[in-house]
């Protein structure tokens, strides 16, 4: 997939490992201009981890880009660890990283679960947030989880058939519980097999047109395990969000500027949530990409995200 509309590949100018409570260790990196405006990249999942391509959304001459892998994900350790792995833990990890890097405030950039975590952090620490650029909105509501587990079969019956078909017929009434048991099974043959199936399902449904490259990236064993195990763990616990949900605390961030980018045909995080968020956020600008699905690397979504970041230069 050509990605000439993104900035060129760039290596970090600094990387590190930050010890966290509960035996977790966070991988972090900084990219771009050390004296630039700070922006924090929040990856999806939960559990997906960040990659080199995510550095390329940001003009390296303007932004001081901070990227990290959340607990149990990517290059953070231990991989796939569920102990002390909740949304409040991740919010405090972000704040610990901000203090460690001595950043006064930053722009938050996140998609899918990254948008959820951005909202949770911003509502907890609004004084540390200069604004948000969010994509593929996921608010962590029960109906959004149920859509992922069962609703997507209406549009991707073949992908859902492979997903559900990994389980014996008598376990398919509880897809989430049955997968979570396998994903947390100590036998690598059991948990890796379940992780590949879960992650491939998400990959198959993430783009408007079939993308073997996207599916292959989701199916790699290490990235698949972090994504599938942690995602199932969070889904089983209502994303560790308060009963009133994220929309119940929008008053805390109503003053912040926001850019929301949403693919019209996003099947993983349908547009309803983006419209609900925009309606509750006075300073949010919603851009609907007419020919895109869920992935941040869909051509129209890439362009819209880069344009949104450019507009933030003026805030």
Selecting among 69, 76, 112, 199, the annotated active-site residue is 112
Packing angle, helices 188-204 and 175-183, rounded to 10: 130
Active site residue 150: no
Helix or strand or coil: residue 14?
Answer: strand
**Rounded Cα distance, 55 and 51, in Å:** 8
Active site (annotated) includes residue 112? yes
Q: Which of 24, 69, 266, 273 is catalytic?
A: 266
Catalytic residue from among 191, 223, 294, 295? 294
Establish whether 217 is a catalytic residue: no
Nearest-angstrom CA–CA distance, 62 and 226: 32
Q: What is the CA angle 65-111-188, rounded to 5? A: 95
Tokens of 269: 């995080």
| Separation CA 29–CA 74 (nearest Å) | 13
> What single string gives the DSSP state of each residue in 191-253?
HHHHHHHHHHHHHHTSSSS--HHHHHHHHSHHHHHHHHHHHHHHHHTGGG--TT-GGGGGGGT
Q: Which residues are catalytic?
A: 112, 266, 294
């Amino acid at each position: 997939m050509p990605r000439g509309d993104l900035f060129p590949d760039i290596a970090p100018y600094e990387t590190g490992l930050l010890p966290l409570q509960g035996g977790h260790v966070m991988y972090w990196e900084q990219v771009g201009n050390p004296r630039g405006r700070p922006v924090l990249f929040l990856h999806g999942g939960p559990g997906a981890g960040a990659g080199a391509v995510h550095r390329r959304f940001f003009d390296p001459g303007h932004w001081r880009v901070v990227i990290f892998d959340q607990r149990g994900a990517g290059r953070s350790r231990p991989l796939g660890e569920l102990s002390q792995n909740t949304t409040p833990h991740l919010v405090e990890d972000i704040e610990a990283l901000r203090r460690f890097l001595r950043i006064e405030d930053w722009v938050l950039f996140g998609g899918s679960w990254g948008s959820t975590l951005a909202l949770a952090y911003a509502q907890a620490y609004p004084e540390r947030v200069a604004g948000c650029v969010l994509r593929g909105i996921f608010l962590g509501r029960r109906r959004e989880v149920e859509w992922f587990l069962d609703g997507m079969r209406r549009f991707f019956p073949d992908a859902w058939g492979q997903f559900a078909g990994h389980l014996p017929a008598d376990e398919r009434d509880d897809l989430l519980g049955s997968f979570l048991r396998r994903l947390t099974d100590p036998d690598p043959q059991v948990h890796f097999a379940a992780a590949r199936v879960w992650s491939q399902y998400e990959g198959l449904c993430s783009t408007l047109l079939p993308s073997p490259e996207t599916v292959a990236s989701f199916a790699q064993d290490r990235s698949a395990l972090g994504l599938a195990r942690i995602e199932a763990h969070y889904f089983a616990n209502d994303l560790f969000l308060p009963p009133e949900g994220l929309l119940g605390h929008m008053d805390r961030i109503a003053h912040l500027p926001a850019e929301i980018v949403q693919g019209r045909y996003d099947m993983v995080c349908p547009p309803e949530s983006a419209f609900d968020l925009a309606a509750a956020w006075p300073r949010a600008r919603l851009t609907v990409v007419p020919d895109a699905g869920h992935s941040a690397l869909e051509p129209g979504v890439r362009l819209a995200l880069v344009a949104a970041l450019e507009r933030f230069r003026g805030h």
